Structure 1
Amino acid sequence: MLFRQGIIRTSTVANDGLSNYNNMIIGLDIGTSSTKAVAFDHQGEVLAQHGITYPILSPQTGYYEQDPNEIYEACVGSLSEVMRQLAREHPSQPLEGISVSSAMHALIAMDEIGNPITNSIIWADQRSESVAADLKETAQGLDLYIKTGTPIHPMSVLCKIMWMKGHAKDTFQRAHKFIGIKEYLFFRLFNTYIIDHSIASTTGLFDIEKLSWYEPALSLAGIKSSQLSAPVSIHYALHLQDSEQATKLGVPVGTAFVIGASDGCLANLGVGATHPGIASVTVGTSGAVRVLSNSAIADQQQRVFRYLLNPKQFVVGGAVNNGGVLRNWFRDTFMTELTHLPEDINTSRLFDEVISAVNPGSDGLVFLPYLTGERAPHWNANAKGVYFGIQLQHTKGHFGRAMIEGMLFALYSVALALEETTGPIHTIYASGGLARSPVWVQILADVFNKPVFVKETVESSAWGAALVGLEALGIDTNPADHAVADNEDDSYVPNKEHHQIYRKNFQQFERLYQKLQDEF
């Protein structure tokens, strides 16, 4: 099935011939800052949801890790709490299955008896920076990018394993398997190592056209295909037969777990950004701009990634390192008064009020947002954050607004590279945590100079996972012919005057990066 634009409404035909919308499916979204379980009915309405957060560990500069057991427990806790909510509020609606979305580029080394011997080394980790820099400038690096669709960068599993081979030799020798966080979840539940084609396509080790591990990449990493998980379709499902595990999760024995895809690909599907010219902009801890394509278009400048949704559909785009992590950094460092307010106070709204009082363009203050290096379009792990143009009239509010504008300038630079590769973008769908902020979404519309739509639920990756799960379980899906936006979408129209201000600042933003990249 090729997914189409708009909310996909699904139905199961019962024996009496009537459509049954009472069943439900759970999308489990394993993210960088939290795991969320969201129960949906067939129309995409949220019936229950619960999320559990966890920290990013940084044992030394440039190292970013997470405890895989902590994330596993967050998956268990989120699912069991949602099942409790459903038992209380929707006791007559049967669960059809659970489908999984997860963040990309994680690496966990596992020993022979199935214990992790490293933390989960996440996308933001920079320890393999020199490995990536050396490889990127070679003909082999270009070949790997074209074959695997993954840019040569410290985020990639390929570069992480190459670094481990040279700098953590004992760990490398002990490693029986090299896996990601979703693979760890399925191993804990089913005692088997499997990886979906979508996540495999983000490792830098997978041939995205042949759907198999790419031998030249394996040779470079110094590993065998047997040390990686078995690649399977995004529709692959296993049924939980362990009664103890089922009880812990609060689900019936025999519940189907659909492996699903990567959070980025599923976000496009979840918001309906599946037609040419329609882009998904997602900002959680990091951020990304993505479009769906029916061909694996290669950018000879290696600015954008090409990841699989399914064998006939590729998500082309670019991810930035610095999304919501910037707002959290600014709030916790420079607006500590907000962190001490009672939990029932909406600090995000208060933050928006502060930056709304500042003129668009922050009165000439420009921010390069590269606090954790950068991925697309520069793929420069050495990039640094910079405020430029500071004058006496600039207040805390100016610095806060310039931070948000700089974050969006970085995303806009990705969008421009993407348009050169796949064609013009005319419509944006926004999702992720920051899509809850009307102020942020309006600035997004003004910077991009394109209409932006936000779905009623911004849990796009979880809903995308649910849609894949419904199809995997053989539940009839009937894409409806909707307009670009559904009636329930919030829409934001760009302000042309503000865009002209942002265009001038963006041009300066681009020049500053070019002038400072050697200093980084």
Structure 2
Amino acid sequence: MPVIIGLDIGTSSTKAIAFDEQGKVVSSAYQPYSILNPQPNYSEQDPDEVFRAVLLALQKSTSQLNGATLAGISFSSAMHSLIAVDAQGNPLTNCIIWADNRSQVQADDLRVTPTGLDIYHYTGTPIHPMSPLCKLMWFRQYQPNLLQQAYKFISIKEYVWYKLFGRFQVDYSIASATGLFNIYTHTWYEPALEAAGITAAQLSEPVSPLYQISPQYINFLQLDSLAQVPFIIGASDGCLANLGAGATVPGRAALTIGTSGAIRVTAPQPAADPQQRLFSYILTENQYVVGGAVNNGGIILRWFRDNFAEAEKAEAQRLGVDPYEILSQEAAAVPAGSEGLLFVPYLLGERAPIWDAQARGLFFGVSITHTKAHFLRAVFEGIVFGIYQVGQALTETTGPIDVIYASGGFARSPFWVQLVADIFNKKVILAGTVESSAWGAAMLALQALNLAPDTLSLPDQTAHEQEYLPNPKRHAVYMQNFSIFEKLYPLLKDQLAAIGNLPKE
């Protein structure tokens, strides 16, 4: 039985998941790593720690195949990371990830100019500190010597690819999320390069997401047993989540909530938003994924767990269950709408739809009757409200959403998935695997290796485990809350920015 490993390099871990041709999981492995915050607004990772995690995840997953034939390995990866390397591929910086906001000033200045609007329309990437374009502009201002010293500026996926194969190559999908790549011509975009202060020679060679490496070039270090297995370069995690979930036709949206979150649709062409709220990234040469990503997904629930849920963690340990299961049960015991308590979840600034790195979170409407459980439920609701706002922008730009395909860690929580159904007032479908990015990567490999005719023929074969239908009464409650929620940030934008810049003692 041939299997494909989808190797998903995420923000907090790498997953290596082996699938058969129908998308059934044959083996899986998970290897976590840390996020470094050396200064306020900095979010980095050690690229070698991530690479070691990739190797370990691959080793663990392949050791569980039990005789199945490994036909290929395909990559999925988080977007927007940036590493400066020398000519031998040695890092000159840590990996600066999407959550890094140090280039906020550069992004704010560029965004409101005609050049910024032009770059957005041609690259499909909103002007925001997440993008490698803005990160490079920050280097240009504060570390100009690095721009001259660096041989290449690459993503974490490119770093892993180079470590394995000795080639600086990037797939169109990851390239399309840099703010430096023309999504119409599939070439580096000169006006963006000029803004960043670099040349195309300092970036990797763009290749198709179906590109595969020839076995004779493979240097597997400690993975010699895989020396004859073809590797497919794959695409970005967000785009592959749509493919893996089956959200590839009009009216179908894919919603992913992991560390961050996003809602996306697949389209045959980019869909630039006049308000610059949405991205248009490349899935394959003829398919684009349009949507918006939020910084504040499951990481906000983790913040609540780590700071306010010692009792719940202890109870989970006693029962041998995940602490999030206990938290979900507590939140579910509170009425929909948290009895008038609202949470604006912008603890990490925010990407779509407001694109404001200075944004801050707040609880609003606190009364003496509210308990910790109310605050907890408000956190769940606030995260989904933030994504619902993106869904509204997506509907305005690309057309109505009929059904939502859910994936990511949140899809393991029935309470959270039902909350999405109720707030969006849409049917939510769970795919046969919540690891839709890894399955999407495997699907690209099946096409590249001629084991499937094309990617669009596969989603109908993907089993759907469960459907969640919206509750109209709860939806009405949520819409009353949301009508207040969506006004809070515009009203308090200046105050939130000011309180975030107060001097420290």
Query: Greater CA deviation, 276-285 or 236-245?
Result: 236-245
Change (3 A) 1:442 1:225: same
Q: 2:404 aligns with which of 402, 405, 428?
A: 428
Letter in 2 for 1:274: T
| TM-score normalised to structure 2 length | 0.95
Report what 1:302 is aligned to: 276
Query: Is the CA contact (8 Å cut-off) linking 1:65 and 1:122 kept in structure 2?
Result: yes
Change (3 A) 1:100 1:354: same
Specify the SS of the correspondent of 1:218: helix
Establish whether residue 76 from structure 1 lines up as the match of residue 58 from structure 2: no
Change (3 A) 1:243 1:145: closer
Report what 1:332 is aligned to: 306
Query: Is the CA contact (8 Å cut-off) linking 1:26 and 1:98 kept in structure 2?
Result: yes
Q: 1:130 aligns with which of 105, 112, 115?
A: 105
Change (3 A) 1:342 1:491: same
Q: CA deviation at 1:298?
A: 1.1
Q: 2:158 aligns with which of 173, 178, 183?
A: 183
Tell me, in whole angstroms, the C-alpha distance in 1 between the residues paired with 2:464 and 2:358.
Answer: 42
Change (3 A) 1:446 1:245: same
Q: CA deviation at 1:312?
A: 1.6
Tell me, in whole angstroms, the C-alpha distance in 1 between the residues paired with 2:177 and 2:477.
Answer: 36
Report what 2:292 is aligned to: 318
Query: Is the CA contact (8 Å cut-off) linking 2:165 and 2:219 kept in structure 1?
Result: no
Tell me, in whole angstroms, the C-alpha distance in 2 between the residues paired with 1:459 and 1:503.
Answer: 30
Tell me, in whole angstroms, the C-alpha distance in 2 between the residues paired with 1:243 and 1:214.
Answer: 31
Tell me, in whole angstroms, the C-alpha distance in 2 between the residues paired with 1:469 and 1:217.
Answer: 31
For structure 1, the residue ranges without an aligned partner over 5 or more in a row are 1-21
User: What aligned pairs does 1:264-283 form with structure 2 within 5 A after superposition?
Assistant: 264-283=238-257
Report what 2:340 is aligned to: 364
Report what 1:97 is aligned to: 72
Establish whether residue 379 from structure 1 lines up as the match of residue 358 from structure 2: no
Establish whether residue 39 from structure 1 lines up as the match of residue 14 from structure 2: no
User: What aligned pairs does 1:46-445 form with structure 2 within 5 A after superposition?
Assistant: 46-86=25-65, 90-91=66-67, 93-241=68-216, 245=220, 248-249=222-223, 251-340=225-314, 342=317, 344-445=320-421
Deviations 1:243-274 (A, max 9, x none): 8626x236432211100000000000000000
Query: Is the CA contact (8 Å cut-off) linking 2:443 and 2:455 kept in structure 1?
Result: no
Query: Is the CA contact (8 Å cut-off) linking 2:404 and 2:427 kept in structure 1?
Result: yes
Letter in 2 for 1:32: T
Letter in 1 for 2:146: T
Report what 2:491 is aligned to: 515
Q: Percent identity?
A: 52
Tell me, in whole angstroms, the C-alpha distance in 2 between the residues paired with 1:219 and 1:403.
Answer: 42
Report what 1:5 is aligned to: none
Q: CA deviation at 1:172?
A: 2.6
Query: Greater CA deviation, 271-280 or 340-349?
Result: 340-349
Query: Is the CA contact (8 Å cut-off) linking 1:79 and 1:250 kept in structure 2?
Result: no
Letter in 2 for 1:233: S
Establish whether residue 476 from structure 1 lines up as the match of residue 476 from structure 2: no
Tell me, in whole angstroms, the C-alpha distance in 2 between the residues paired with 1:256 and 1:482.
Answer: 21
Tell me, in whole angstroms, the C-alpha distance in 1 between the residues paired with 2:455 and 2:350.
Answer: 37
Tell me, in whole angstroms, the C-alpha distance in 2 between the residues paired with 1:314 and 1:486.
Answer: 21
For structure 2, the residue ranges without an aligned partner over 5 or more in a row are 498-505
> Greater relative contact order (Cα 8 A, min sep 6): structure 1 or 2?
1
Tell me, in whole angstroms, the C-alpha distance in 2 between the residues paired with 1:52 and 1:390.
Answer: 40
Query: Is the CA contact (8 Å cut-off) linking 2:237 and 2:437 kept in structure 1?
Result: yes
Q: CA deviation at 1:474?
A: 1.8
Letter in 1 for 2:121: I
Q: CA deviation at 1:49?
A: 0.1
Deviations 1:286-314 (A, max 9, x none): 00000001111111110100000112211
Tell me, in whole angstroms, the C-alpha distance in 1 between the residues paired with 2:160 and 2:486.
Answer: 41
Change (3 A) 1:337 1:177: same
Letter in 2 for 1:29: D
Specify the SS of the correspondent of 1:85: coil
Deviations 1:39-66 (A, max 9, x none): 0111111000000111110001100001
Query: Is the CA contact (8 Å cut-off) linking 1:27 and 1:465 kept in structure 2?
Result: yes
Tell me, in whole angstroms, the C-alpha distance in 1 between the residues paired with 2:218 and 2:260.
Answer: 37
Specify the SS of the correspondent of 1:330: helix
Q: CA deviation at 1:242?
A: 6.7
Query: Is the CA contact (8 Å cut-off) linking 1:84 and 1:250 kept in structure 2?
Result: no
Letter in 2 for 1:376: A
Deviations 1:58-85 (A, max 9, x none): 0011000011100000100000011111
Report what 2:503 is aligned to: none
Letter in 1 for 2:240: L
Tell me, in whole angstroms, the C-alpha distance in 2 between the residues paired with 1:381 and 1:311.
Answer: 32
Query: Is the CA contact (8 Å cut-off) linking 1:189 and 1:240 kept in structure 2?
Result: no
Query: Is the CA contact (8 Å cut-off) linking 1:242 and 1:253 kept in structure 2?
Result: no
Tell me, in whole angstroms, the C-alpha distance in 2 between the residues paired with 1:400 and 1:485.
Answer: 38
Tell me, in whole angstroms, the C-alpha distance in 1 between the residues paired with 2:251 and 2:482.
Answer: 22
Deviations 1:179-237 (A, max 9, x none): 00110011000111000000000000000001000011111111110100000000001
Change (3 A) 1:268 1:363: same
Report what 2:501 is aligned to: none
Letter in 2 for 1:108: I
Letter in 2 for 1:497: K
Change (3 A) 1:432 1:345: same
Report what 1:25 is aligned to: 4
Specify the SS of the correspondent of 2:64: helix
